[in-house]
Structure 1
Amino acid sequence: MSKHGKKKWRDMSRGQRAATIVGSIVQVTLLAAALWDIAHRPESGIKGSKKLWTAAAFVNFAGPIAYFLFGRKKPAPA
């Protein structure tokens, strides 16, 4: 282990490495999905500004999840 308490890749168990890889894939996928949705959704379909939600999407898991839960307007009933 390094002197600052952070484990290096070579010090991690196989399970820890797998969890790190899976977590990274999930995070990047959420980010990509949020950015794609923000870019393709009209401004009228988003609560707040596109610039704000684009910046927020880069905040780990919380940003994209917050966008999907709170940033999109629900479609009007048909």
Structure 2
Amino acid sequence: MAKKTDVQLPDRAKEALGVAKEAVGVATVARGFGKVALGLLGVVQVAFAFLAFWDLAWRDGDDVRGPKPVWVPVILINWIGPAAYFLAGIRHKR
């Protein structure tokens, strides 16, 4: 078994090592924040699609532009589908 020896580092190297350790800690926190943000964005997207499906299911067929079954695969397109349904798929009464 190899014998562990203590290495004496110059002060500047110790300082650089401390900065590097701090940078790794910041990067780890940033990566964790990114995962949380992506998770929240995914939840919002699923909720948006759910609301579009719910509205499509309960809305009268005369109030929807085009056949209702056509809107099902359209709504499945992330972000664009539900937005298209709410903006163009519903006949807005004026």
**How high is the TM-score relative to the length of structure 1?**
0.77
Q: How far apart, in 2, do the equivalents of 1:30 and 1:20 lie?
A: 15
Q: CA offsets, 1:29-75, max 9 Å, x none?
A: 01100000000001100011111111100001110011001000012
Q: How far apart, in 2, do the equivalents of 1:54 and 1:41 lie?
A: 13
Amino acid at match of 1:57: I
Larger Rg over CA atoms = 2
The aligned length equals 65
State the SS of the aligned residue for 2:91: coil
Q: Which runs of 5+ in 2 are unaligned?
A: 1-29
**Equivalent pairs: percent with the same residue?**
31
User: What corresponds to 1:24 in structure 2?
Assistant: 42
Amino acid at match of 1:21: G
Report deviation, 1:16. 1.0
Q: Which runs of 5+ in 1 are unaligned?
A: 1-11
Q: How far apart, in 2, do the equivalents of 1:30 and 1:53 lie?
A: 14
User: What corresponds to 1:6 in structure 2?
Assistant: none
Q: Aligned-pair RMSD on alpha carbons? A: 1.3
The 4+ residue runs of structure 1 with deviation greater than 3 A are none
User: What corresponds to 1:46 in structure 2?
Assistant: 64
